[in-house]
Amino acid sequence: MSLEQLLFLVVAAVIVLAALGAVFARRIMHAALCAVVVFTAVGGIYAIIGSYFIAVAQVLIYIGAVATVLVFAVMLSGQKDIAGGSPIRRQARWKTVLTWAAFVVGLVMVFQFTLNLTVPASGPANAPMAAESATSLRFLGQLLFYDYLLPFEVISLLLLLVLIGAVVIARKESDPQ
């Protein structure tokens, strides 16, 4: 077993455990913090497969910003909204059964899909990607500004929409002026 595989197994175990913690945590704040652990470990997966920029982006956006939003969302909710722990614990039994069935079917589909997948030999083991890691950001910039210029600009429009939408919705709900 190579070092990458060992690291992957450790990180994957952390992801699975933290995800289960997020689902089953009694207090919603603990669920949010478990989600932050999942975000962090997923960033570790990106670093293991050699996409360092994605790993940094994961840390910046998910751990930096999305985690903040999650925690603030929990702090916004009042005592009565979160009493009794995760809503999963309060579901009717048939809903629980349905959820588990969907989960198992999804898992089987994922396995089926991954088994049929033929991966091009460009993993970290034979590492053309890792060798290029210093230039891959450069490559990304080139792609972004030559081949995908329009999508890039559309992203800014999307971000603008998010900003204005958030302001409009939150203003309306908190205090109508």
Cα–Cα distance, 22 to 20 (Å, whole number): 5
Q: Residue 101 CB, nearest distance to another protein (Å)?
A: 34
Torsion angle (degrees, nearest 10) of CA 50, 54, 56, 61: -160
Cβ burial, residue 21 (10 Å; 0-12/13-18/19+): middle
The reply to whether 68 sits near another protein by the rule CB under 8 A is yes
Contacts 24+ apart (CB under 8 A), 8-11: 8/45, 8/48, 11/41, 11/44, 11/45, 11/48
> Between residues 19 and 56, which has the closer beta carbon with respect to another protein?
56
Alpha helices in the chain (DSSP H): 3-24, 28-48, 52-57, 67-76, 79-82, 93-116, 128-131, 133-142, 149-174
The reply to whether 19 sits near another protein by the rule CB under 8 A is no
The reply to whether 144 sits near another protein by the rule CB under 8 A is yes
Query: What stretch of H or E contains 88?
Result: none
The reply to whether 105 sits near another protein by the rule CB under 8 A is no
- Choosing from 92, 119, 173, 176, the residue that interacts with another protein (CB under 8 A) is 173
Site string for another protein, 30-59 (x = CB under 8 A): -----------------xx-x-xx--xx--
Altogether, the residues listed in the chain come to a count of 177
The reply to whether 76 sits near another protein by the rule CB under 8 A is yes
> Between residues 24 and 52, which has the closer beta carbon with respect to another protein?
52
- Choosing from 140, 147, 151, 172, the residue that interacts with another protein (CB under 8 A) is 140
Residues that bind another protein (CB under 8 A): 4, 7, 29, 47-48, 50, 52-53, 56-57, 60-61, 64-66, 68-69, 72-73, 75-79, 82, 124, 130, 137-138, 140-142, 144-145, 149, 152-153, 155-157, 159-160, 162-164, 166-167, 170-171, 173-174
